């Protein structure tokens, strides 16, 4: 039933976006210009913004999240570990708009002060969005990483210690190699959440259309305002498109379809990696 519903959902999106594919062709995904008043629809800058913000978030959150997961799984007593996990999951349950408001009040100003020497226009940047998303995906990495590490049988740890391995050597040679797929799954699922986050990113990213650098690996564009797929979909243009032309609405639906493909692919790989560890 769920599969049928999802298939119908995807087909509905694909059908409604057909006009923009006929109008733009592959340029809809590869084009760098989006001006709906002149019927130009290229979503590559928004794909870049989505990947840039999520990439910053993962780079910042992965070391801290995996380190915290390692500490809770391998060093904390059971009761303390459960208490810590409860607190972490509470953080995961905080509404994203609260994180967004904290980003406006704290992170945006901090980014502007730190990088003022680089003549940035404001603290509303892709980097600001990445920092905020790093905080938001951290509970996902810690929780799933802890589960992956605890899935390694305790008997193997005890056997390693009986053979003379230290605690650190047991973690390095036994726990980490066997949980690597689960840890990778945690990172991928966290990345999927970062791709799909809307309101928090919307409040701090600047929402500048057509921000596509020549070099995607350059760090300077991260200190400029940008647009992501979710911030475009969460903005006023969605309402304008719904009451406007069929082509404009198809372009907006197409953004949703591209985002669905990106998040779905990352999530599916993450789930597959997690299952592979337990196989």
223, 127 Cβ separation under 8 angstroms: yes
Share of the chain above pLDDT 70, in %: 98
User: What distances in angstroms separate CA 91 from CA 85, 87, 216, one per listed residue?
Assistant: 10, 7, 32
pLDDT, tens digit, 9 for 90 and up, residues 42-51: 999 999 999 9
Task: Using the predicted structure, report yes or no on whether residue 279 has a pLDDT greater than 70.
Answer: no
pLDDT, tens digit, 9 for 90 and up, residues 157-197: 888 888 888 888 888 888 888 889 889 999 999 999 899 89
Nearest to 33 by CA among 190, 163, 210, 200: 210
pLDDT band at 117 (very low <50, low <70, confident <90, very high): confident
Exposure string of 159-192, with b = 16+ CB inside 10 Å and e = fewer, is ebeeeebeeeebbeebbbebbebbbbbbbbbbbb
Rounding to the nearest 10 degrees, give the CA dihedral for residues 145, 151, 156, 160: 10
CATH number belonging to the domain at 45-278, selected among 3.40.50.300, 3.90.226.10, 1.20.5.50, 1.10.3720.10: 1.10.3720.10
Q: What is the pLDDT, as a whole number, of residue 126?
A: 95
Task: Using the predicted structure, report yes or no on whether residue 276 has a pLDDT greater than 90.
Answer: no
pLDDT band at 278 (very low <50, low <70, confident <90, very high): low
């Amino acid at each position: 039933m769920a599969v049928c519903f999802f298939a119908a959902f995807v087909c509905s999106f694909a059908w409604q976006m057909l006009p923009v594919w006929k109008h733009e062709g592959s340029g809809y995904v590869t084009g760098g210009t989006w001006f709906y008043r002149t019927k130009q629809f290229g979503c590559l800058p928004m794909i870049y913004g989505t990947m840039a913000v999520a990439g910053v978030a993962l780079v910042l959150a992965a070391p801290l999240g995996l380190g915290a997961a390692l500490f809770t799984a391998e060093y904390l007593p059971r009761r303390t570990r459960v208490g810590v996990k409860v607190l972490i999951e509470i953080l995961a349950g905080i509404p994203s708009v609260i994180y967004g408001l904290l980003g406006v009040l704290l992170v945006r100003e901090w980014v502007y002060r730190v990088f003022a020497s680089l003549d940035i226009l404001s603290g509303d940047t892709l980097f600001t969005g990445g920092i905020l998303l790093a905080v938001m995906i951290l509970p996902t990495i810690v929780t799933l990483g802890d589960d992956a590490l605890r899935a390694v049988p305790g008997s193997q740890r005890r056997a390693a210690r009986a053979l003379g391995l230290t605690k650190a050597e047991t973690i390095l040679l036994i726990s980490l190699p066997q949980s690597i797929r689960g840890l990778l799954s945690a990172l991928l699922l966290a990345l999927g959440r970062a791709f799909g986050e809307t309101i928090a990113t919307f409040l701090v990213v600047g929402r500048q259309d057509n921000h596509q650098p020549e070099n995607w690996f350059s760090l300077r564009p991260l200190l400029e305002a940008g647009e992501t797929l979710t911030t475009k979909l969460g903005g006023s243009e969605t309402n304008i498109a719904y009451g406007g032309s069929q082509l404009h609405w198809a372009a907006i639906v197409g953004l949703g379809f591209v985002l669905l493909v990106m998040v779905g692919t990352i999530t599916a790989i993450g789930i597959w990696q997690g299952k592979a560890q337990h196989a």
